[in-house]
């Protein structure tokens, strides 16, 4: 393909709206303008945290519940909505809340929760945060009893629920002396290594409730649950004790001052916590930040048991938050996560016009990722990469981290549904330039591999760009900065569209024949109108909301600032014109 010239770059009020999507023509247009086509969304209104996510092997369906305000596209009156799917792409979504605030203990909101594992067949048991007093925020004094733990059971696959007569089954009164910042988002799991530390011969059942201790540590509180009567939770202690805003380096996430939606991920040799942290030290637009982070830890035989921080990183470097996980029996029991894709870069006026806010992420498979025979990174010393466990042998390193990529069944569903599939031939850039892929679409999936050296270069994808490049979203890897960036400075109609930077490097390994090989940048991109999710080498993820004009739908490859060796894109595969099917019942 011929190279073309590369252009120069220029540098909440709460409104109650009708509880159904608008019918007037221009409002319908506003409703659909930036509405994703293959992400899971509520029928309308505000949507945030995924709850009680699961795969049912008996019914062969995936179930996702979520926090929902059907009365407005702004946060308020939080209920649960629900959805189920056989292929992760086509969803049946509830038209009305499946669980609403109605009791004295949950009259101010049905907040995030989980299932009691395992979940199979139409009977499901959930735990959720029942809220009786607002406002609640880590920066405000905490009122003991404003959040409690409640339980409910469904016998029809989650369409209707019966609250436990024991509700609320637990409150945080036992934490009155801790001066906590929050107490919510239960997660229940079996945990083999915890059984070992606790001296158990039979599998136990454990619960985490997220929060923090003011001016001391963010944490999650550990509970020992009676498997015969899951209404009985016994407090063990705070699971982790970190200093506030603990951040070993730029490669690891800021622990914040308060945790939400903490999940345990258990593997044969490793235990991870997947955490949503609030109160990041680095402010953005005058506000303290929140992030989705992970921590690899080792359980300590202390009294009570605690977890030691070993290494950690960011699960997503952008608009992703509030992960909830489950084990997918249809995928060798792999751990799968959903998260909330936040919508905080659109003005209240435009949110009110479109009458919805927020979506689910694509489903992500989490794994333990190992890179062997490493002799170096692009620039950083190996021992400074604090998101890896580093084991040094005589002449190389073994690096272990948390892996993340898109669920393969979801990928298969996307590609089956794509209207078009093309392959852009391999391209070598000897000088700065752009190659247009010849595609105009706002809903697509892209895979490519890029060969680079340690020489300074910026290389990547121009997504959702106009014909003259005046509007564009740059997905760019900088070898000298060892950083992948979603640059949203020219991404359309949003406010405060700052860039998202994800630290990412490529490794040089020694083959069995003694040759030194630089890892290729493996790029997997999903673009869905206003949601972009990027996965790099199966170990780094970054997501972003963008709001382009409808005419901005081109896709191009680019390289710039070449100072040394050429840059080569392998074949670039594109699937586009993708839509999911959503039915409401």
CATH number of the domain to which 489 belongs? 2.60.120.560
Domain interval for residue 461: 418-584
530 assigned to some structural domain: yes
Give the full edge-to-edge strand order of the sheet including 233-238. 180-189, 205-213, 217-225, 233-238
pLDDT for 364 equals 98
Query: Rounded CA gap, 545 and 355, in Å?
Result: 17
pLDDT for 2 equals 29
Q: Are strands 45-56 and 364-377 parallel, antiparallel or unpaired?
A: unpaired
- Collapse the DSSP code of 517 into the 3-class scheme (helix H, G, I; strand E, B; otherwise coil) and give the result: strand
Query: Rounded CA gap, 496 and 164, in Å?
Result: 44
Query: Rounded CA gap, 318 and 341, in Å?
Result: 9
Query: Rounded CA gap, 346 and 549, in Å?
Result: 14
Query: Rounded CA gap, 522 and 484, in Å?
Result: 12
Query: Rounded CA gap, 533 and 342, in Å?
Result: 12
Q: How far is CA 199 from CA 117, 234, 301, 309, 386, in A?
A: 22, 16, 10, 22, 32
pLDDT for 515 equals 85
pLDDT for 119 equals 66
pLDDT for 13 equals 30
Q: Please answer whether residues 83 and 53 qualify as being in contact, where contact means their C-beta atoms are separated by less than 8 angstroms.
A: no
Query: Which residue is associated with the tokens 């080498």?
Result: 537
Query: Rounded CA gap, 83 and 584, in Å?
Result: 9
DSSP 413: H
Q: Please answer whether residues 468 and 40 qualify as being in contact, where contact means their C-beta atoms are separated by less than 8 angstroms.
A: no
pLDDT for 287 equals 63
Q: Which of 431, 465, 399 is nearest to 561 (CA)?
A: 431
Query: Which residue is associated with the tokens 């607002």?
Result: 134
pLDDT for 5 equals 30
If phi > 0 it is left, if psi is from -120 to 50 it is alpha, else beta; for residue 34 that is alpha
498 assigned to some structural domain: yes
Q: How far is CA 502 from CA 252, 317, 482, 538, in A?
A: 10, 6, 9, 14
Q: Which of 396, 370, 395, 400 is nearest to 385 (CA)?
A: 400
187 assigned to some structural domain: no
pLDDT for 3 equals 29
DSSP 99: B
CA dihedral 547, 551, 554, 558 (to 10 degrees): -70
| CB burial readout 115-148, b (16+ within 10 A) else e | bbeebeeeebbbbbbbbbeeebebeeebeeebbb
Q: Which of 257, 260, 132, 238 is nearest to 187 (CA)?
A: 260
212 assigned to some structural domain: no
SS3 for 255-322 is CCCEEEEEEEEECCCCEEEEEEEEEEEEEECCEEEEEEEEEEEEEECCCCCEEEEEEEEEEECCCEEE
Per-run averaged pLDDT (10 residues), the chain, 585 residues: 28 34 59 96 97 95 98 97 97 96 97 88 93 96 97 95 97 96 98 96 96 97 96 98 96 96 96 97 73 97 96 97 97 97 93 96 98 96 97 93 98 97 96 95 98 94 96 97 96 87 96 86 98 98 95 96 90 96 88
pLDDT for 8 equals 25
Taking residue 342's Cβ as centre, other Cβ atoms within 10 Å add up to: 19
pLDDT for 211 equals 98
Q: Please answer whether residues 105 and 388 qualify as being in contact, where contact means their C-beta atoms are separated by less than 8 angstroms.
A: no
Taking residue 44's Cβ as centre, other Cβ atoms within 10 Å add up to: 26
What is the CA angle 236-238-241, rounded to 5? 145
566 assigned to some structural domain: yes
Q: Which of 164, 162, 101 is nearest to 130 (CA)?
A: 101
483 assigned to some structural domain: yes
Q: Are strands 356-357 and 45-56 parallel, antiparallel or unpaired?
A: parallel
Query: Rounded CA gap, 546 and 566, in Å?
Result: 31
549 assigned to some structural domain: yes
Query: Rounded CA gap, 552 and 441, in Å?
Result: 9
What the block records as the tokens of 443 is 């809903």
What the block records as the tokens of 425 is 């031939």
Taking residue 487's Cβ as centre, other Cβ atoms within 10 Å add up to: 21
Q: Which of 486, 247, 481, 267 is nearest to 387 (CA)?
A: 247
Total of domains in the chain: 1
Q: Which of 477, 473, 456 is nearest to 464 (CA)?
A: 473
- Rounded to two decimals, the pTM is 0.93
516 assigned to some structural domain: yes
Q: Which of 445, 541, 496 is nearest to 343 (CA)?
A: 496
* C-alpha Rg value of the chain to the nearest Å: 24
């Amino acid at each position: 393909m011929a190279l073309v010239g590369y252009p120069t770059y220029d540098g909440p009020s709460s409104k109650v709206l009708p509880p159904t999507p608008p019918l007037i023509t221009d409002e319908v247009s506003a409703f659909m303008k930036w509405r994703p086509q293959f992400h899971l969304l509520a029928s309308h209104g505000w949507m945030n945290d995924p709850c009680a996510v699961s795969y049912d092997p008996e019914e062969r369906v995936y179930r996702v519940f979520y926090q929902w305000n059907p009365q407005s596209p702004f946060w308020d009156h939080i209920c649960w909505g629900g959805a189920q799917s056989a292929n992760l792409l086509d969803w049946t979504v509830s038209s009305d809340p499946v669980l609403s605030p109605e009791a004295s203990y949950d009259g101010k909101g049905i907040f995030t929760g989980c299932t009691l594992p395992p979940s199979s067949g139409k009977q499901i048991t959930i735990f959720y945060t029942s809220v009786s007093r607002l406002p609640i925020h880590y920066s405000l004094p905490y009122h003991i009893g404003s959040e409690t733990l409640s339980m409910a059971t469904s016998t029809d696959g989650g369409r209707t629920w019966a609250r436990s007569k024991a509700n609320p089954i637990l409150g945080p009164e036992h934490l009155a002396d801790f001066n906590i910042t929050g107490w919510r988002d239960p997660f229940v799991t079996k945990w083999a290594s915890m059984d070992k530390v606790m001296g158990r011969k039979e599998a136990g059942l454990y619960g985490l409730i997220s929060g923090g201790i003011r001016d001391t540590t963010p944490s999650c509180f550990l509970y020992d649950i009676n498997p015969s009567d899951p209404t009985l939770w016994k407090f063990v202690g705070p699971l982790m004790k970190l200093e506030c805003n603990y951040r070993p380096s730029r490669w690891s996430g800021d622990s914040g001052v308060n945790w939400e939606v903490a999940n345990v991920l258990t593997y044969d040799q490793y235990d991870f916590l997947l955490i949503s942290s609030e109160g990041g030290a680095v402010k953005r637009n005058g506000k303290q930040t929140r992030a989705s982070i992970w921590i690899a830890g080792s359980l300590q035989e202390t009294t009570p048991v605690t977890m030691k921080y070993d290494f950690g990183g960011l699960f997503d470097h952008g608009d992703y938050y509030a992960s909830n996980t489950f084990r997918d029996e249809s995928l060798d029991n792999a751990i799968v996560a959903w998260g909330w894709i936040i919508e905080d870069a659109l003005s209240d006026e435009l949110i009110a016009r479109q009458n919805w806010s927020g979506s689910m992420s694509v489903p992500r498979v989490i794994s333990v990722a190992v890179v062997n025979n490493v002799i170096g990174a692009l620039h950083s010393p190996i021992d400074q990469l604090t998101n890896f466990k580093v084991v040094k042998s005589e002449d190389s390193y073994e690096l272990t981290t948390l892996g993340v990529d898109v669920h393969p069944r979801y990928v298969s569903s996307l590609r089956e549904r794509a209207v078009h599939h093309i392959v852009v031939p391999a391209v070598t850039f000897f000088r700065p330039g752009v190659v247009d892929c010849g595609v105009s679409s706002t809903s697509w999936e892209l895979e490519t591999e890029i060969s680079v050296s340690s020489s300074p270069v910026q290389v990547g994808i121009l997504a959702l760009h106009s014909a003259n490049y005046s509007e564009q979203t740059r997905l760019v890897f900088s070898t000298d900065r060892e950083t992948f960036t979603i640059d949203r400075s020219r991404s359309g109609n949003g406010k405060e569209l700052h860039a998202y930077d994800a630290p990412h490097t490529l490794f040089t390994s020694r083959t069995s024949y003694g040759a030194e090989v630089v890892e290729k940048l493996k790029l997997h991109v999903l673009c869905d109108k206003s949601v972009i999710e990027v996965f790099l080498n199966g170990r780094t993820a970054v997501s972003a909301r963008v709001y382009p004009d409808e005419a901005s739908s081109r896709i191009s490859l680019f390289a710039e600032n070449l100072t040394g060796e050429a840059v080569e894109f392998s074949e670039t595969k594109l699937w586009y014109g993708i839509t999911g099917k959503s039915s409401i019942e």
